[in-house]
Chains A and B, each alone.
Chain A
Amino acid sequence: MFLPCIFAVYHVSTSSNYPPAPAPVKLITLDELRNIMKAKDLDIFVPSNLPGGYRLTGIWYMPSDIIIVFDNRGVSDYRYAKIGLEISRGIIAFEQSKPYGHTIKYETPYVIVRGYILERTSCSYSPTGYISLAELWIMSKRTGKTMHYLIDVRPPLGMDELTTIIYSLKPLDEVFKK
């Protein structure tokens, strides 16, 4: 009777589908992210409208990259959570970029958003091998700084959810109130 339990615990602990992330990034808390944003005078924008059942599950940090993930199964691994925002400084301006996919441009009281959306694009971490992806340059009206965002959704989520997420971006402190 106990033996199957031992096997079950052992099996779950050693053959998880969500192994540790193989890159020099570390999991940080929301408060730690707030401290980083404050130190860098940085605004970060996150979706205020998520599909039902999805919640913030992980914030991954390295000095050049911040990855914020949401999931409806509790998955915090940045590779396998179903919704992800990867935020960096970017190396070119939107004006220097070569258009691809569908071009998107809009403005809210908080941000000016410009970029490109791909309905179906390759990604080996996706269970189907495909994701919906947006590459965006988002300028904060408060700071005047532009950051580079890759926002994606994994199946079964698709373009509808990605579009909803993009158009619902708000400052992090408005979405996650202290």
Chain B
Amino acid sequence: MNKFLKQKRFTLPREKIGEKSEAVCGGDMKYTKLAIIVMLGLILSITASATPIKAQDPPPYYAGYYFYGKEVPYASGVSGKIYTINPEVPGTNYFAQWVTVMLSLRNRYWIQIGYAKDLAHTGLTLLFYIEILDAWGHRWHWISTPKPQEGIVYKYTIVPAYSNNEWKCTIEREGNSIFEALKETNPFDCVDLEAFSETGIGEINIDGTHFSELSYFTGRGFPLWDHHVPHADSPYYLEEIADYEFYAYGGG
């Protein structure tokens, strides 16, 4: 979904500190002033280093794997199984789980397939979707049917179709294809693969999240991921089972 929008920042309680500093600086004891200034500096430093990430991280929150990170064979597509969960999503927030082909890191272009509960787009229902952000802008394809069912494992795949700059996007259930679509992107490249759970707020509980059989496309086959780079934003965390499998928990 809104990948890489995330930027870790810390809030500065400037108003409160400013009020206090005015009151204190009115005194005439210079050593007292200096001591207070030093103390405030220390407090600021401690606050900066000790502020809990959960309270400060803006959304979205991610938990999952990047593929690259060391020398690896050529990859041009992704596949992975995701167990469908159906957490409560308060307000107008969203929850999504997906696999992605990154088209460009510098320009933040990608093509993604997965399922989501997005109050702004899907209401209270889980829906499959394809999302693209490329040189032509941001595009959604919400799949009205079939619909994901809680407790079922679906396999999501994105591979090059090798014509018209198109990707073949498929969803399978128990080995049977239940959805296929061709999607064009410009540019047409693969610089990384990703498999993530994503939420708009940390209050969404993703316990039960399970990604498995994460695979990369070589042009001929789908070897399992043989390496990964884990990433989880607090309050979420990963249980790394293998390079190609993880559970994720937390939130709520």
Interface residue A107 (Cβ < 8 Å from any Cβ of B): no
For chain A, the count of residues having a C-beta within 8 Å of the partner chain is 48
**10 cross-chain pairs, A with B, having the tightest CB-CB distances, nearest first:** A121-B135, A65-B191, A91-B76, A24-B229, A122-B137, A98-B165, A135-B187, A19-B7, A86-B106, A24-B69
A129 to B192, CA, bound (A): 23
Q: Which positions in A face B, CB cutoff 8 Å?
A: 2-3, 6-7, 10-11, 13-15, 19-20, 22-25, 60, 62-65, 67, 69, 78-79, 84, 86, 88-92, 96-98, 100, 116, 118, 121-125, 131, 133, 135, 148, 150, 152
A65 to B101, CA, bound (A): 13
Say whether, besides A63-B69, A65-B191, A92-B160, A86 and B229 are in contact (CB < 8 Å).
Answer: no
- What residues of B have a CB within 8 angstroms of the CB of A11 in the complex? 12
Nearest B residue to A15 via CB reads B9
Interface residue B41 (Cβ < 8 Å from any Cβ of A): yes
Q: Which B residues from 106 to 152 make CB contacts under 8 A with A?
A: 106-108, 133-138
| A92:B162 contact, CB within 8 angstroms | yes
Q: Which B residues from 57 to 102 make CB contacts under 8 A with A?
A: 66, 68-72, 74-76
Least Cβ–Cβ distance between B20 and chain A, in angstroms: 10
Interface residue B234 (Cβ < 8 Å from any Cβ of A): no
**B216-252 interface bits toward A, Cβ cutoff 8 Å, 1 = contact, 0 = none:** 0000000000000100000000000000000000000
Nearest B residue to A89 via CB reads B74
Q: A6-B41, A15-B12, A67-B105 are in contact. List 15 more A-B contacts (CB 8 A).
A: A23-B105, A24-B68, A25-B105, A62-B69, A63-B68, A64-B72, A65-B105, A79-B108, A86-B191, A91-B76, A100-B186, A121-B135, A124-B108, A124-B133, A133-B187
Nearest B residue to A19 via CB reads B7
Main secondary structure of the interface of A (DSSP, over half): mixed
- What residues of A have a CB within 8 angstroms of the CB of B106 in the complex? 67, 69, 78-79, 84, 86, 125, 150, 152
Nearest A residue to B192 via CB reads A64
A82 to B99, CA, bound (A): 30
